[in-house]
Amino acid sequence: MAKQLWNKGFEPDQLIENFTVGQDRELDLRLARYDVQGSMAHIKMLQKIGLLSQEELARLLPALQEIADSIERGEFVIEDGVEDVHSQVEFLLTSKLGDIGKKIHSGRSRNDQVLVDLKLFFRDELRTISKAVDKLFHRLQLLSEEHRDKLMPGYTHLQVAMPSSFGLWFGAYAESLTDDMQLVVAAYNIANQNPLGSAAGYGSSFPLDREMTTELLGFANPHYNVVAAQMSRGKTERAVASAVAAVASTLGHMAMDVCMWMCNNFAFVSFPDELTTGSSIMPHKKNPDVFEIMRGKCNRLQSLPNELTILTANLPLGYNRDLQLMKDIMFPATTSLVECLDMADFMLQHIRVKDNILDDPRYDYIFTVEDVNRLVLQGVPFRDAYKQVGMAVQNKTYRPTRTVSHTHLGSIGNPANKEIAAKMEELMGRVKGEE
């Protein structure tokens, strides 16, 4: 039996159906709970504006709740021949309630239905990402405090440069995540607007109460202009993708550092054996595969904005089916990011940091600026002090004093972790919703 909502008595070619439905039957399962949520809000609104009776609403709501329960139990499926989640929910309702089920689509289109599902979905995904970011953030801050006084070489051009510390290194990634959270918050604000009522993209002749559905779905405001609401498909995804790419860039960078610090030539950090991987031929190997996979995944995630931009570049105004393909790109991406964040948090719980790294004479020159500054504090003009130390290096007579005293805001002695925590707390407050 033909199950397309738009069926007019002929069977579409199977090849065409498979090609156009693509991965929707599987991917749309992640939208199912939001689809039901959107439908509940929509029919409450239809009853209010007189398009459904109180009795009809009273029969529809429990039937939708039943579907919602089956989704939570993991029993909901999109059957063969049914195009997508929107069709499946309507199909279940009409099978159960007959004509009443057929009424729920008044004043909406799958175009605004999928939009509202996606906005609710991304809103939740962004909250999930934020929580994972926050967890890793706190882990990094904790490590920053714990290893506050452990010095390490700071590099520029990958040449030893100046003293740094593990307090700074861990703390740097924590603060960097606060910058990424700014983008998460921006994406959240873009997603947190109600497109329902834009229907196929041009509104409806029914007096839809869009304020009511906005409130019922907990959106900050309607996406007012119906055309703008439709245009937000693509725009929302690109905003989310930028946020995901930003977090991924920070995490990927950190993963690279860990791979390098684990390298035997550095050996600044290590992990318990069971968290490393071996080689099939070299018996001694303890490889950082976790951080390599993380780096690779994070690099892939950074291509998301580009992929979406190319997919949606120059599409004509209004709905186009190309938009469906964004789900294929975005759904696995948010999951992958959270997986990487959680893995980073897990691994860092077990990180071991080497002590007294700077005692090794290979890092002697790291103290040259300290020694120049010490002379300056004794009254020697900077350029003369620089020359004096420079000549000692040149003549191989330089002996480092090995004392480091950095006290200014954000430096080794004062990494400002409290101030950074306050920034994160404020940002986290902006993505809080009722759970």
Nearer to ligand ARG, 261 or 319 (CB): 319
Burial level of 136, CB count in 10 A (0-12/13-18/19+)? buried
Buried/exposed code over 143-153 (b: 16+ C-beta within 10 A; e: otherwise): bbeebbebbbb
Give the number of residues in contact with ligand ARG, rule: CB under 6 A.
Answer: 9
**Binding characters for ligand ARG, 367-386, by CB under 6 A (x = yes):** --------------------
In this structure, what token pair is assigned to residue 147?
Answer: 């290893």
88 scored as a contact of ligand ARG (CB under 6 A): no
114 binds ligand ARG (CB under 6 A): yes
Residue from 199, 291, 293, 221 nearest 254 by CA: 291
Contact status: 8 vs ligand ARG (CB under 6 A): no
How far, in Å, CA of 197 to CA of 306, rounded? 30
Least separation in angstroms between residue 34's CB and ligand ARG is 13
Q: Minimum distance between the CB of residue 3 and ligand ARG, rounded to whole angstroms?
A: 14
Dihedral (CA of 157, 161, 165, 168) sign: negative
Q: How far apart are CA 383 and CA 381, in angstroms?
A: 6
Burial grade of 265 (CB within 10 A; 0-12, 13-18, 19 or more): exposed
N residues, the chain: 435
The distance of closest approach from Cβ of residue 326 to ligand ARG in the complex, given in angstroms and rounded to an integer, is: 8
Distance CA 257, CA 53 (A): 63
CA distance 431 to 186: 10
Closer residue to ligand ARG, CB minimum distance, 93 or 114: 114
Shortest Å, Cβ 412 to ligand ARG: 52
Q: Which of residues 305-324 bind ligand ARG (CB under 6 A)?
A: 319, 321, 323-324
Positions 19 through 78 that interact with ligand ARG (CB under 6 A): 24
Q: What's the closest the beta carbon of residue 269 comes to ligand ARG, in angstroms?
A: 45
Token pair of 317, please?
Answer: 């105004």
Binding range to ligand ARG, per CB under 6 A, among 107-115, 146-154, 235-243, 338-346: 107-115
With CB under 6 A as the contact rule, the residue among 103, 110, 210, 423 that binds ligand ARG is 110
84 binds ligand ARG (CB under 6 A): yes
Closest to ligand ARG by CB, 80 vs 435, is 80
Residue 357 within binding range of ligand ARG, rule CB under 6 A = no
Q: How big is the CA angle at 402 (ends 396 and 407), to the nearest 5 degrees? A: 135
Contact residues toward ligand ARG (CB under 6 A) are 24, 84, 110-111, 114, 319, 321, 323-324
